[in-house]
Structure 1
Amino acid sequence: MPPVVAASVSSAFDKIGFWSPNTASVDWCESNYVVSFYIAEFWNTISNIACFFAAAVGYYFFPGNERRFRLMFAAFGLVGLGSVLFHGTLRHKMQLLDELPMLYSATMIMFILVEAKHGPQGFTTFIFSTTGGQLQFYTFQSTYTALQFAMIYFLRVLHVQQRAIRGPNPDVSILIRRAFASALFAVTIWLIDLRLCEFVNGVGKKSILRWNPQLHAWWHVFSACALYHATMLIVYYHYDVQDMRPFVDVVYGGWIPVIRLHHVQRPKNKFLR
C-alpha cells in the first residue's frame, strides 16, 4: 500500500527498487532508489552511523557496571539498526523495528529517572503491531513526544534539586545547553522535511532549492547528538543523587563529554568552555 503520510510529493520519488512497493506509513523527503537499487533512502540510511557511534561511546565510557545503563545504550544502538532497516526498505514491518525500539529506549530512560515507577509498555507494542497508516503514524508520534516531554520534566526536576544541594555546575550546564540546542535544531529540520518537502526537495516545481539538503538525514545526526547529551545527564544525575560524586570529563580531543566517578582528583580545565 502507498504511504499514508507522504513527505514526498514528486514523481521523482516513485522510482522502483529492490524493496518496492513501499508499505511504510510515511515516505520521507528523499528520492527513493537514486543512489542504490538496493537502498530506498540512501542518505537517511547511512546517517544512522551517528546513532551507532553515540551508542558505542556511551556504552564504553559510562562509569560502573549497572545493567540498566548497558541496556539503555544497547537500546540506543538498536534504534539506529531499526532506522537503517526502515529507511533502507520503506517496509511497514521494518518501520516497526525503527519505532518500537525508540519507545522502549524512552521507557528505559523514564524507568531510570523515576526509580522503577515505569515498566515496559506492552499495550503500546500491541497498538503499533496491529495498526497501520495514519493511526499508527500519529499514535507513535504522540506517544514518543509525550515520553520525551516527561524525560525533560524529570531531568529538570533533578537539575533543580541537585543544584539546590550542591550549587551550580558549569559542566552540567554545558551538557544541558548542548542537548537543548541539538534537539531544537533536529526537531525544526524534521518538521521542515515532513511538512515542507515540496519546497526543499530539489526536484519538484515548487522547490526553492536546486538540490535536496537531506534534512531527515541531518535529523538523525543532531537527534543522536541531543540524545547522547541527554543520556549523559541521566547517568550524571543517577550517580549524583546517590552521592557518588560524578563529574563531566571529555574524550576524543575534548569534544565528546563522558561521565566519570570521582575516584581520583579531577583534572582541571577538561571541559570545553
Structure 2
Amino acid sequence: MAPLVDLDGVWGEPTSTLDWCEENYVVTPYIAEFWNTISNISMIIPPLLSLYYISMCKVERRFYWSCLAFLSVGLGSWCFHMTLLYEMQLLDELPMIWGSCVFLYAFYESNAKPKSHNYPLAAALLLYAVAVTFIYILTKDPIFHQAAYALQVFGLIFRGLYCVLINKQDFSAFLFVYSIVLYTAGFVLWVIDQSFCSQIRQARSDFPVPAVLQLHGWWHIFAGLGTHGHIMFSCHLRNQYLKRNPTVWLQGILPFVSLPVKKN
C-alpha cells in the first residue's frame, strides 16, 4: 500500500514550486513521482512515430516542428516529475507555452496559400512566448503559467470550431472528436487530482491497485493522446485544403495521417 507521506530520494528535497498529489519516492528512490514520470511515454512515443510517418508524406515543415514541440514537452515533463527540481519544472512548463505557439501557427494557417508564411502571426506568437517566459521566471507563479497556457488552449479550440462550424472546411470528424474528448477527459482528471488530493491519497492507501488512482498520470496519458490527435487533425485539415487527399488510419489507438504517394 502506498504511504500517505513523502519519502526521501536521490534528488533531495523538491525545489519546484509545484509538488503533485503522487507520494514522492514510493516506488524507487531514483524517481520522485514514478507514475507521473512514466505516464509521459504518451507524449514521447506518439510524436516520434508521427515524425517517422509524416516524413514519408513530405508534409509542410510546420508539422515537423509541431511533433518536435510535443516531444520536448514529454521529455521535459519526464525530467520534472522524476526530480521535482525547479530547473526541470521550467523544462516542462516553458515548452508547453512555446510548443502551443507552434500548434497555433500551424492551425491558424490551415487555409493559407501554399508555401506562404504569415510573419505577423509568427511575430505575435513569438512575442507572447517571450513575454510569458520572462514574466513567469520573474514571478514563479504557477497560476500565471496555467492561465497563459489555458489561453492558448482556448485559442486552439476557437480555431477548430471556426474551421468546422463557420468556415466549413473539409475535416476529419473522427480526429476532431478524438482530440477534444481525450484532452477534455484528461483536464477533468487534472482538476479532480488538484481539488481532492487528500481524499485521493487516502483512497489509494486502501485501494488494491493504487496506481489506478494516480490521476495526474492519467492526465498525461489523455492529454498526450489528445494533443497527438490535434496535430493529426491540423495536418489532415491543412492537406485537405491543399487537395492532397489525406487519409486517416489507426495504429492501435493512435491515429495517423497519410497522403497518396506521387508517381513519377
Q: TM-score, normalised by structure 1?
A: 0.81
- The CA distance in 2 between the partners of 1:92 and 1:194, in whole Å, is 19
In structure 2, the gaps of 5 or more residues are 110-117
> Is contact 1:199-1:208 (8 Å) kept?
no
Among 42, 48, 72, the alignment partner of 2:40 is 48
- The CA distance in 2 between the partners of 1:65 and 1:187, in whole Å, is 30
- Structure 2 residue aligned with 1:245: 245
* RMSD over aligned Cα atoms: 2.3
Equivalent pairs: percent with the same residue?
32
1:1-273 aligned at under 5 Å gives the runs 12-62=4-54, 63-115=57-109, 116=118, 117-118=121-122, 119-120=125-126, 121-132=129-140, 136-160=141-165, 163=168, 172-202=172-202, 211=210, 213-250=213-250, 252=251, 255-263=253-261
Please state whether the residue corresponding to 2:7 is helix, strand or coil. Answer: coil
Work out the number of aligned pairs and report it: 243
Please state whether the residue corresponding to 1:35 is helix, strand or coil. Answer: coil
- The CA distance in 1 between the partners of 2:194 and 2:106, in whole Å, is 32
- The CA distance in 1 between the partners of 2:206 and 2:196, in whole Å, is 11
Q: TM-score, normalised by structure 2?
A: 0.84
Letter in 2 for 1:61: Y
- The CA distance in 1 between the partners of 2:232 and 2:92, in whole Å, is 23
Q: Which of the pair has the greater relative contact order for Cα pairs under 8 Å at 6+ separation? A: 2
In structure 1, the gaps of 5 or more residues are 1-9, 265-273
Letter in 2 for 1:241: Y
- Structure 2 residue aligned with 1:6: none
The more displaced of 33-42 and 112-121 is: 112-121
- What's the CA shift for 1:162? 6.0
